[in-house]
């Protein structure tokens, strides 16, 4: 059985794991949520690097065949440090697949001289790192079709959203109002664009972003990450075995702070659990 390690600063990586489980069967997943140190998004780059390497070390001891850094903040700030420590085990980050998915979403939107914004919604540490802005710039520079258009990258830190989601306020008026407040300046300037949910928690509030950004395309980076892993050399683009069950071993550095709604998701997974 292929073993895949996946870590996040907390419960958010469950959004990535859920997408993986839909696409890859017969896999043994080891999920580590660093709930004792959440949020990474408010920490310094060196703190994020230290914590990320520590998480990866725990999963390396499980003898995983590949590691996924599901956390966008860790992927933005610590991917190279984690890769160096895990070598030669392949390490997959979330920035590159997210950027690719956002650029694919531009298909059919490119028209004449129009400016189409690429809005990165993420934690403050992620936007400060400019990892997404640099990755977009690089991709756009090497893509002849995109070089002709104007695709400004806008980065919006949404610091209050993770605590609201952790509180379980996924469909709460306060959540909807907060999302609207974050996107308002961008919506006032652009009636259309691509918004990339560049934080593990945000796929849970996908509909809130859709509601707040009418006319925009919303890209879920959890789906993009799962798709990139399926297409990687590790799996060669095929589901391992359609009928096989997945196994998941969950661990959290502080299990007491795992929110109730996340526990429900964990216990309702349609696959076997080893806790």
* Contacts with ligand DGL, residue ranges (CB under 6 A): 8-10, 12, 38-41, 71-73, 123, 126, 162, 199-201
Smallest distance from the beta carbon of 10 to ligand DGL, in angstroms? Answer: 6
Smallest distance from the beta carbon of 48 to ligand DGL, in angstroms? Answer: 9
CB crowding 179-204: b at 16 or more within 10 Å, else e: beebbeebbeebebbbbbbbbbbbbb
Smallest distance from the beta carbon of 30 to ligand DGL, in angstroms? Answer: 17
Sorted by sequence, the CB contacts under 8 Å of residue 117 that are 6+ apart come out as: 151, 152, 153, 154, 186, 189, 190, 193, 194
> Among residues 26, 24, 21, 29, which one has the least CA distance to residue 3?
29
For ligand DGL, the closer CB: 26 or 259: 259
Query: How many whole angstroms separate alpha carbon 95 and alpha carbon 225?
Result: 9
For ligand DGL, the closer CB: 116 or 131: 131
For ligand DGL, the closer CB: 59 or 116: 59
The token duo for 266 is 């964990």
For ligand DGL, the closer CB: 19 or 190: 19
Q: Could you tell me if 123 and 73 are in contact, meaning their C-beta atoms sit under 8 angstroms apart?
A: yes
Smallest distance from the beta carbon of 215 to ligand DGL, in angstroms? Answer: 26
Of all residues in this chain, which one has the CB nearest to ligand DGL in the complex? Answer: 41
Smallest distance from the beta carbon of 123 to ligand DGL, in angstroms? Answer: 4
3-state secondary structure of 51: helix
The token duo for 64 is 């995983």
Smallest distance from the beta carbon of 94 to ligand DGL, in angstroms? Answer: 8
> Among residues 190, 196, 237, 233, which one has the least CA distance to residue 215?
190
For ligand DGL, the closer CB: 39 or 193: 39
Helix (H) or strand (E) holding 234: none
> Among residues 27, 17, 6, which one has the least CA distance to residue 262?
17
Q: How far apart are the first and last CA of the chain?
A: 18
For ligand DGL, the closer CB: 38 or 248: 38
Please list the active-site residues. 71, 199
Query: How many whole angstroms separate alpha carbon 107 and alpha carbon 145?
Result: 10
């Amino acid at each position: 059985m292929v073993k895949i390690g996946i870590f996040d600063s907390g419960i958010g990586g469950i959004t990535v794991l859920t997408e993986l489980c839909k696409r890859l069967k017969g896999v043994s997943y080891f999920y580590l949520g660093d709930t004792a140190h959440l949020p990474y998004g408010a920490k310094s780059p060196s703190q994020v690097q230290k914590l990320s390497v520590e998480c990866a070390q725990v999963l390396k001891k499980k003898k995983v065949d590949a590691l996924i850094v599901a956390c966008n903040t860790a992927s933005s700030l610590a991917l190279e440090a984690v890769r160096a420590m895990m070598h030669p085990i392949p390490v997959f980050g979330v920035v590159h697949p997210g950027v690719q998915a956002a650029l694919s979403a531009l298909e059919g939107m490119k028209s004449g001289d129009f400016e189409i914004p690429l809005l990165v919604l993420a934690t403050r540490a992620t936007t400060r790192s400019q990892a997404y802005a640099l990755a977009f710039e690089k991709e756009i520079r090497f893509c002849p079709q995109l070089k002709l258009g104007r695709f400004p990258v806008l980065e919006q830190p949404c610091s209050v959203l993770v605590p609201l989601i952790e509180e379980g306020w996924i469909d709460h008026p306060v959540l909807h109002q907060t999302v609207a407040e974050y996107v308002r300046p961008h919506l006032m300037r652009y009636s259309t664009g691509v918004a990339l949910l560049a934080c593990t928690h945000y796929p849970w509030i996908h509909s809130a972003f859709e509601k707040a950004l009418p006319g925009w395309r919303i890209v879920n980076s959890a789906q993009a990450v799962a798709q990139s892993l399926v297409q990687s050399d590790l799996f060669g683009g095929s589901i391992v075995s359609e009928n096989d069950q997945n196994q998941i071993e969950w661990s959290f550095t502080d299990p007491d702070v795992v929110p109730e709604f996340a526990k429900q998701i964990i216990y309702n997974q349609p696959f076997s659990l080893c806790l």
